A and B are shown apart, each in its own frame.
Chain A
Amino acid sequence: GAVVSQHPSRVICKSGTSVKIECRSLDFQATTMFWYRQFPKQSLMLMATSNEGSKATYEQGVEKDKFLINHASLTLSTLTVTSAHPEDSSFYICSARDPAGEVETQYFGPGTRLLVL
């Protein structure tokens, strides 16, 4: 299947700082990428849909000014957690939609574990 990478794999930061997470589709072009968050022992929750060249679409309850998304190219989307606080500590996972094939499928990155002190 298609490959999606994320960087960094884990990050520790101080409260009040901003953290940028990158999501790349390595062998296909993705017009649409998705950002999820997963707290311990819970399922994945969709945060936002990132569309190349346009504004992201955020799910209800997700602050767009806190979680900045940029999808500047067909292979890269970034999520910036601004003014991070301990409650933002979580596992952040991106996915990219591969439009090739009979039925489009989403492929996931390995995730980024964020710890805010």
Chain B
Amino acid sequence: DAKTTQPPSMDCAEGRAANLPCNHSTISGNEYVYWYRQIHSQGPQYIIHGLKNNETNEMASLIITEDRKSSTLILPHATLRDTAVYYCIVRVASTASKLTFGTGTRLQVTL
């Protein structure tokens, strides 16, 4: 699976949009981009995934560049409960392939 690069930490004011970048310049054509988050002392929570089109669900939006070498997870109105470590993972989805967690981005939402 392709490696990803994320900033180690970010801050965001409550109510503002949080934009979390992820670089995956070696992504293959059949690899999806997945986002998970882990709130302190809990198991990771699935957020969203995409292949090449932008995706939106009740939690977030995923913007994937046209060349698919990078993506951005957008939390439109961050709240204190969104404080967590966010993981961007690239993997082939057609197999029982593993999720390989990097170090992620620690998002701190502040008042």
A34 within 8 A of B: yes
Interface residues of B in 78-95 (CB under 8 A from A): 87, 93
Which one, B16-24, B60-68, B101-109, is touching chain A?
Answer: B101-109
Q: Which of A45, A97, A105, A109 contacts B43 (CB 8 A)?
A: A109
B55 to nearest A CB, angstroms? 11
Q: Which listed residue (A34, A91, A113) contacts B99, Cβ 8 A? A: A34
Complex interface bits, B27-63 against A, C-beta within 8 A gives 1, otherwise 0: 0000010101010011111100101000000000000
Given contacts A43-B102, A43-B104, contact A108 B45 (CB under 8 A): yes
**DSSP class of B's interface residues: helix, strand, loop or mixed?**
loop
Pair A103/B93 contact, Cβ less than 8 Å: yes
* Smallest CB gap from A106: residue in B: B99
Cβ–Cβ contact A46 & B49, under 8 A = no
Question: With an 8 A cutoff between CB atoms, is B96 at the interface?
Answer: yes
Contacts of A4 in B (CB 8 A): 43
Q: Quick one: given A43-B102, A103-B32, are A110 and B42 in contact (CB under 8 Å)?
A: yes
CA distance A6 to B42 in the complex (A): 11
* A43-B103, A43-B104, A111-B41 given; A49·B46 CB < 8 A: no
Q: Assuming A6-B43, A43-B104, what are 17 further A-B pairs, CB within 8 angstroms? A: A34-B99, A44-B44, A46-B98, A49-B96, A93-B44, A95-B43, A97-B96, A103-B49, A103-B93, A104-B93, A104-B96, A105-B46, A108-B43, A108-B44, A108-B45, A110-B42, A113-B41
| A-B residue pairs in contact (CB < 8 Å), sample of 18 | A4-B43, A32-B96, A36-B101, A43-B101, A43-B103, A43-B104, A44-B38, A44-B44, A45-B101, A46-B98, A49-B96, A91-B41, A95-B99, A103-B51, A104-B93, A105-B46, A108-B43, A108-B46
Q: Give A contacts to B, CB under 8 Å.
A: 1, 4, 6, 32, 34, 36, 43-46, 49, 91, 93, 95, 97, 103-111, 113
